[in-house]
Structure 1
Amino acid sequence: MAMKRRVFLPSKQLLPRFITSSTASSSSSSSSPPAAAELPQTGRSCAPPVTCERALDLHDTEKLFASTPSGALLRSLANLKIMAWEPVVDLGIAVVRSKAVEHSAAARAVVVAALKATAYRHFCAGENVEEACKTLQGLWDDGLQGILDYGMEDAEDNAGCDANLAEFLKTVEMTSRLPISSVSFACVKITAICPVSLLERVSDLLRWEQKDPAAAAPWRRHQFPVLCDASPLYHTPSVPAPLTPAEERDLEQAHRRLAELCGRCADVNLPLLVDAEYTSVQPAIDYLAYDGAARFNRGPTPIVYTTVQAYLKDSKERLAMATAAAEKEGITMGFKLVRGAYMTREVKLATSLGVAPPIHRSIQETHRCYNTCALFMLEKAAHGGAAVVLATHNLESGKVAAAKVDELRMGRGNERVQFAQLKGMAEGLSLGLRNAGFNVSKYLAFGQVDKVIPYLLRRAEENRGLLSASSMDRDLIWKELKRRLTDAVLRR
């Protein structure tokens, strides 16, 4: 498939873009997965520390926030301070999940209004595609790209999946009317286009197959490794029943939905990020995502990107195994690397079952794992066999990756390397990477406030420790506001 390169050209207006549609897919062949490649072991993040500092410098706040109005800085500082105060966050989560809010329309309306004015405005891009595109326009004017994410999760049935697919397709269609490359990726949650109960069933069968290779499922389309010996298998303590004919038909429906979305993305040359979820359903998500990659990633530029969560103990091994399998099959893999967003859920479940949690024991171990995986993928990207999205809010990881790009002489604008942060988080890192010449995107979740409450709650739960422990953004914003105030006084 011949692909048009999405060139980064700043624009002050939303100019229409017309791309000739062409569909392409390729069937995958099945074979036993090759042995996992050895990932590099890193002690320190990069060689001399000065290399990291030169690759990414956040000290000049005037340059960093040159395009950000003071009012926007003040709002961000206020939101970050509130969300860093854990008692307030705990109270907010308790109120949103309370029975009073669940059963009272009036109470729910008050809570939704409060959320819209605070967390929603800070983390989300709007209630619909049109509002999200206005938010994206502001980013584009500032030299940043956007990842449009329709923030729906956990569909219950096929009707809900079909409705969600329609919204995902609408999002992709909207990008054809935006400036070329203002949108770097579309995004999908498999839990929104495949019933969660089916993902749990498929994951059970894949875990049992990992325990007993002779129990290979007849419905498997490919042999990409989705689990390894280090993967958490405690979710499936006994042999699960095979899929029923109805479940197999539903699984085919899920394949069809994902293939339709991938095909539409391929038509407009827009890569698709498949989000990771919690470990009870992640094997099935990887299985579906790898099938999409096997069909649509046969050219030099990947359309389908899967996600690896570095806080999982098995992440390095699974990344190496999947990469090796893709190379053997002639598939160009795209991976998004994240630290992980289901810590509370994973620890609670594992503890209830009396087993060790699947995540690393400390944040330092997670940082080391993330950086190791990032360096591994950058090496692969430098040789043209893969592409990577480094989704991180961690300054040190940003410096490590930036220095590695320079060391590999890849060029800071290399389209195989993208950095990404959530809207409303790590603004200093995003702007610093942008100023250094890297491709940077902000993750733009959108949807009606009451529909994206699960997303907002997870942001609050999983990021409150991060926000309270890391004051980088608050310090940078405060430094810049003081500088502006001092300059205003001196000019009088």
Structure 2
Amino acid sequence: MITTKIFNNTKRAFSLKTDGELNRAIFMFKSIGSPVMVKVGTFLTNVSLNLRLPVEGLIKKTVFNQFCGGVTEEDCLPNIRKIYTKKLHGILDYSVEGKETDEEFDAATQRKINIIKFIADKPEMPFAVFKPTGVGAFDIWAKVTNKETLTAEEEESWNKIKDRVKRLCKTAYDLDVCVLVDAEESWMQDAADDLIEEMMALYNKEKVIIFNTIQCYRWDRLQYIKDLHERGQAKGFKIGAKIVRGAYMEKENARASKMGYPTPICEDKEATDVNFNAVMAYIMNHLEDFELFIGTHNEVSSYLAMQLTQDRDLAKDDGRIWFAQLYGMSDHISFNLAANGYNSAKLIPFGPVRDVVPYLIRRAQENTSVKGQTGRELALLLEEKDRRKGKHKKTIH
């Protein structure tokens, strides 16, 4: 049985933070713990950027530095190499959103390809990542998902999207770099699932290179993973599964209500937790056909994954099982997992400050909607501050 509560070790979790960085983190989590402050901050940020007011410096010193690794890949390297001294890996995520033209999508695709090349010889960065709507228009993904007839122009756009995805996946395969593909809203996701499955069939024959993301707040995902497993066995490919709870709950429920169809989202947080753990257990029972990337900030699910690893007599550092959390969050999970021998990573967003603001706003909004998450983060940070104060007092006396 997993009896030692490793995630309570704040000394280890925040060992790389200076007192100043610890205080900044406390300020940030106090701020995003307040829905009112998040709403006001979001409004003021958007207005300031639209009016071209000089606020980028302030954003960079606060929320950007908390949740992003830097502006460029090179900016992120010192942070990644620092956490790697604690056996924690980094995953670069160029988090620029909201592009609309073919030229922008081509440029974003090339940027992602360059990142794959950049990390290919760096063991501290074992994964690349891309978002389907980062390489093609949301409306095209949605129309293909809903099996709508495409115009000739839309058909051309869809072919370009498929080409971009294939170029990304082939580059990853050629350079032996694993790539994680994000999941998005349900009404565009089928097209992404189908295309990524095609890429798995092409490139996951001998080992897993391509990972699709399974959003477990969707009640249909356990059956989806079982069906995908059957198809993988029949066609002779392995499955990369990144499992997360999900990021678009309020939007999903609102759209379902407005359009009069059953929501694809589990009825409550408890049902989501049960679904996440069931998907995780199913995959861990079939690791001969899967590799599992556990993207969670949930301690209970993390302990369960550790227990399942032990129950199946698997090595803690079995290469088929990875844990990951977002940069700037849940250091108590990431650093303690790494210190205890598990494969652990931080997803590190980066990009120009102005371009990354939509990502940062979404991150703040998600934190206010996750019950208990921000409070837990803040409590641990304050506990570490108190621990350091106590140590300082002892030193003085």
Question: Do both proteins adopt the same fold according to a TM-score greater than 0.5, normalized to the shorter chain?
Answer: yes
Gap regions ≥5 residues in structure 1: 1-50, 206-239
Secondary structure of the structure 1 residue equivalent to 2:2: helix
Q: Does the 8 Å contact 1:187/1:274 carry over to 2?
A: yes
Question: Are 1:195 and 2:137 counterparts?
Answer: yes
1:360 counterpart = 2:304: no
- Once the two structures are TM-superposed, the CA of residue 198 in structure 1 deviates from its matched residue by 1.3
Please state which structure has a larger fraction of its residues in helix: 2
Return the alpha-carbon distance in structure 1 between the equivalents of residues 82 and 195 of structure 2.
Answer: 34
Question: 1:244, CA displacement in angstroms?
Answer: 3.2
Are 1:85 and 1:468, in contact at CA under 8 Å, matched by a contact in 2? no
State the AA in 2 paired with 1:75: R
Q: 2:3 aligns with which of 53, 72, 88?
A: 53
- Of the three residues 182, 187, 194, the one matched with 1:275 is 182
Q: How far apart, CA to CA, are the structure 1 residues paired with 2:322 and 2:192?
A: 23
Query: Which letter maps to 1:298?
Result: K
Q: How big is each residue's C-alpha offset from its partner over 1:201-246, in whole Å with a ceiling of 9 and x where there is no partner?
A: 11110xxxxxxxxxxxxxxxxxxxxxxxxxxxxxxxxxx3x22343
- Select the structure of larger CA radius of gyration: 1
The 1:336/1:270 distance shift into structure 2, 3 A limit, reads same
Residues 137-171 of structure 1, C-alpha deviation per residue, up to 9 Å, x if partnerless? 22212221011111123432321111101110111
Work out whether 1:379 is the aligned partner of 2:379.
no
Corresponding position: 1:471 with 2:378: no
- 388, 410, 416: which one pairs with 2:314? 410
Match among 52, 62, 65 for residue 121 of structure 1? 65
Mapping of 1:7-406 within 5 angstroms? 51-54=1-4, 56-98=5-47, 101-102=49-50, 104-106=51-53, 109-110=54-55, 112-176=56-120, 178=122, 181-205=123-147, 240=148, 242-299=149-206, 301-381=207-287, 384-406=288-310
| TM-score, normalisation: structure 2 | 0.94
Q: Tell me what 1:438 maps to.
A: 342
Give the 3-state SS of the residue equivalent to 1:471 in structure 2: helix
Measured in 1, the distance between the counterparts of 2:373 and 2:167 equals: 42
Does the aligned pair in 2 maintain the 1:136–1:182 contact within 8 Å?
yes
**By how many angstroms is 1:265 displaced?**
1.4
TM-fit CA distance, 1:177: 5.2
Q: Deviations over 1:15-56 (max 9, x none)?
A: xxxxxxxxxxxxxxxxxxxxxxxxxxxxxxxxxxxx2334x5
Moved more, 349-358 or 457-466: 349-358
Shift of 1:401: 0.6
Calculate percent identity across the aligned residue pairs: 26
* Contact persistence 1:151–1:452 (CA under 8 A): yes
CA shift, 1:191, in A, is: 0.6
One-letter code aligned to 2:41? G
Match of 1:458 in 2: 362
| 3-state SS, counterpart of residue 58 of structure 1 | helix
Change (3 A) 1:355 1:197: closer
- The separation in 2 between residues aligned to 1:113 and 1:69, in whole angstroms, is 21
Could you tell me which amino acid in structure 2 is paired with residue 113 of structure 1?
Answer: G
Q: Distance in 2 between matches of 1:338 and 1:193?
A: 21
CA distance in 2: counterparts of 1:281 and 1:126, whole angstroms: 30
Query: Aligned-pair distance for 1:122?
Result: 0.9
Aligned-residue Cα RMSD (Å) equals: 1.9
- What is the CA distance between 1:467 and its match in structure 2? 6.9
Runs of 4+ in structure 1 deviating by more than 6 angstroms, as ranges, are none
Q: C-alpha offsets along residues 83-131 of structure 1, whole Å, 9 cap, x if unaligned?
A: 1122111111222344x753x222xx32x33322222111111111111
Kindly provide the CA deviation profile for residues 162-209 of structure 1, in whole angstroms up to 9, marking residues without a partner as x.
11011101111211453xx2012100011111222211211110xxxx
Measure, in 2, the Cα distance between the counterparts of 1:446 and 1:62. 27
Q: Which runs of 5+ in 2 are unaligned?
A: none
- The 1-side partners of 2:374 and 2:361 are apart by 20
- Once residues 282 and 90 of structure 2 are traced to their aligned partners in structure 1, the CA distance between those partners, rounded to angstroms, is 25
Q: 1:256, 1:101 → 2: CA distance?
A: 34
| Distance in 2 between residues matched to 1:252 and 1:453, nearest whole Å | 30
- The 8 Å contact of residues 146 and 183 in structure 1, kept in 2 or not, is answered as yes
Once the two structures are TM-superposed, the CA of residue 324 in structure 1 deviates from its matched residue by 1.5
CA contact (8 A) 2:33 2:374 kept: no
Q: Contact 2:24–2:62 (CA<8 Å) still a contact in 1? A: no
CA distance in 1, matches of 2:233, 2:387: 51
Number of aligned positions between the proteins: 396
Moved more, 186-195 or 112-121: 112-121
When structure 1 is superposed on structure 2, of 126-135 and 393-402 the one drifting more is: 126-135
CA contact (8 A) 2:68 2:349 kept: yes
Residue 489 (1) aligns with residue 393 (2): yes
Spell out, residue by residue over 1:434-455, the C-alpha distance to the aligned partner (whole angstroms, 9 max, x if none): 1221111100111111112221
In 2, are the aligned partners of 1:155 and 1:196 still within 8 Å (CA)? no
